[in-house]
Chain A
């Protein structure tokens, strides 16, 4: 019979700690070793949507680095208290690069990162940096602007319906840009906005889409984690704009385009940098030009002049000659937020908490 005393326990754990310590050091010494990468997802990896696009980024690391990399992923981690445990476990298990993919992973990552100074942390949609915690985010608004140009051409009622998860800058900005894109074609366009106050409630999203359509909107764009908005629009004969993934197969032929997210360049470059020992914390905010935001194929129902204008808007944004938030921009109250010739600053866009003129909806 094995008797275990407290003293024994302390002895063993000290020995184990020492063993772990040496193991950790030897890992660092061997540059040729397999790189362990961890990723934490906020929702299940379904066929489309936010988490799916992140899992494609992880797949890209595997494709680029082959047997030089070993990947661990954990999905459906939303609550900060769960996330903290998962991040700590991943870091203790020898992962040298760890991705957090939701805003809610921020606080746990900021807590765990300082304890593992040798581990690189990358946080998507994060705002706070540390020595070993970098952030990356996409310029969704560039995608919605381009989609808005298509919407401006195809809308008969001149009314867009926009469904957002939460009234946060990352949703408010794209809603504004969608309308600005549409107004570049037809200045009379308006955009009705509904917030679900949930990322994930297909039932409510359907009701919201029906509501918008019943009020005369004939373009539906939904920034949530489901394809319900696209599906309802297809049923009711309204055009739809997909988000995160190409949602054409849900749209019943009425899917105009989607602004999709492709994180693979971010994932692969981070993994390669860590493997080469050159990784440094950085803040990335990338859009169409970097390929992080991409436009899915346009609906074939778009007339040639519309296609030309949409493509031109996309090219100009990539070239930097067109900025979605270039003045003159007025808010709902008619106050000038960006004068003619000026553009909104990065800080203004990232913290945007007002609607442009023509949006029907209210922010708290």
Chain B
């Protein structure tokens, strides 16, 4: 494997868990709900994924269970924030902490035990193409799934009526309610979807990336996804770009360290954060663009008027 291939594929893989979690959160925020608990949901997904495969069930089922577990975890937030109308920031933070604890509890029996990893998908002919094959067609199925989901989510949000309704609810839940849409119900569905996506992101880490469960293994990726959504100005394509940028800078700074670049490792380690923030802030300078994409009723509790 030459250096370029290593950096390119490393970037795509490092970005995948962020893409899952951030795209899920993007849809949630588009509906006007702010769920800060991504880290917790990812951890629950990661732990459940390993657990299911540890007891001997096939990996696709483990991935599915991880998504369901992420969705169930998000329900904690949903009930607090949507039914009881608690402060969304507080409920989200509570979920982040709760998820960390619950995942540690779930993972008690099989911590640090390696499991069979999700293998890269070998596509006949395509994987064998020189140069392009190893670059584009040598990933595990979840990487392709993240691209498919990106396409589906972009299409759903901007090309379908249901997507328009979700966005409307994010702008003005009162208006959507007045014309007869069940705002709370739809927000519940969206929150569950966000949870499932975070669960998938977690499962990617624990099943495909480093195939074992260790407590707190997301190491802050949930928070990074959260930041990506904001810096990407709530546009799916920018989330994708931001995740690649972050993943790419992470890989590059490691390559730089290993090559003996004349910069202290502390500075290099902070590069991905600095670069991602700077670039995304620059491309989001257009205030009108931000105002157009920001969900106006974000994090505001909604109580249907009777």
Contact = CB atoms under 8 A, between A and B. Distances in A.
Interface of A: 43-44, 46-49, 76, 161, 167, 192-198, 200-208, 210-212, 214-215, 217, 226-228, 231, 235, 249-250, 360-364
Nearest to B261: A362
8 A-B pairs with least C-beta separation: A364-B264, A214-B6, A195-B265, A46-B111, A360-B260, A201-B219, A211-B254, A202-B210
Given A47-B112, A48-B112, A203-B210, A211 B261 contact: no
A46 B215 contact: yes
6 contacts: A195-B269, A202-B205, A202-B210, A214-B2, A360-B260, A361-B257
Nearest to B218: A203
A194 B265 contact: yes
B259 A207 contact: no
A202 B219 contact: yes
B113 interface: yes
A203 B224 CA distance: 14
B257 A215 contact: no
A289 B104 CA distance: 38
Contact of A228 (B210, B254, B262): B210
B45 to A, nearest CB: 14
B217 A203 contact: yes
Contacts of B2: 214
Nearest to A167: B265
A261 to B, nearest CB: 16
B219 A197 contact: no
A21 B109 CA distance: 42
A356 B209 CA distance: 33
Contacts of B210: 202-203, 205-206, 226, 228, 231
B148 interface: no
A172 to B, nearest CB: 11
Contacts of A195: 257, 265-266, 269
A194 B252 CA distance: 12
Interface in B1-49: 1-3, 6-7, 10, 14, 17
B250 A361 contact: no
Contacts of B112: 46-49, 226-227
A364 B1 contact: no
Nearest to A236: B1
Contacts of A215: 3, 255, 258-259
Contacts of B255: 211, 214-215
A362 B264 contact: yes
A52 B258 CA distance: 30
Contacts of A204: 219, 250, 254
Give the size range of B's interface with the partner.
35 or more
Nearest to A364: B264
A208 B254 contact: yes
B250 A207 contact: yes
Contacts of A212: 258
Given A203-B217, A204-B219, A362-B262, A231 B267 contact: no
A197 B221 contact: no
Contacts of A44: 104, 111, 215
B216 A200 contact: yes
B57 interface: no
B264 A161 contact: no
Contacts of B205: 202-203
Given A47-B113, A203-B14, A362-B261, A226 B254 contact: no
A93 B227 CA distance: 45
A250 B104 CA distance: 21
Given A203-B210, A228-B210, A364-B267, 6 more contacts: A197-B266, A204-B219, A207-B14, A211-B255, A226-B210, A362-B265
A231 B212 CA distance: 10
A276 B210 CA distance: 48
Contacts of A194: 254, 257-258, 265
A195 B17 CA distance: 22
B151 interface: no
A192 B259 contact: yes
Contacts of B217: 202-203
A42 B10 CA distance: 31
Given A200-B219, A226-B214, A211 B269 contact: no
Given A44-B111, A47-B112, A249-B114, A210 B10 contact: yes
Contact of B257 (A193, A200, A214): A193
A44 B267 CA distance: 30
B113 A207 contact: no
Given A194-B254, A203-B205, A364-B267, A214 B111 contact: no
Nearest to A162: B258
B232 to A, nearest CB: 21
Contact of B111 (A47, A192, A200): A47
Nearest to B108: A44
Contacts of B259: 192, 215, 360
B228 interface: no
A197 B263 contact: no
Nearest to B1: A214
B251 interface: yes
A358 to B, nearest CB: 11
A120 to B, nearest CB: 30
Interface in B278-299: none
A210 B7 CA distance: 9
A232 to B, nearest CB: 8
Nearest to B260: A360
Given A226-B214, A250-B114, A192 B258 contact: yes
Given A203-B210, A207-B251, A231-B114, A214 B263 contact: no
A140 B139 CA distance: 38
Nearest to B2: A214
A48 B262 CA distance: 35
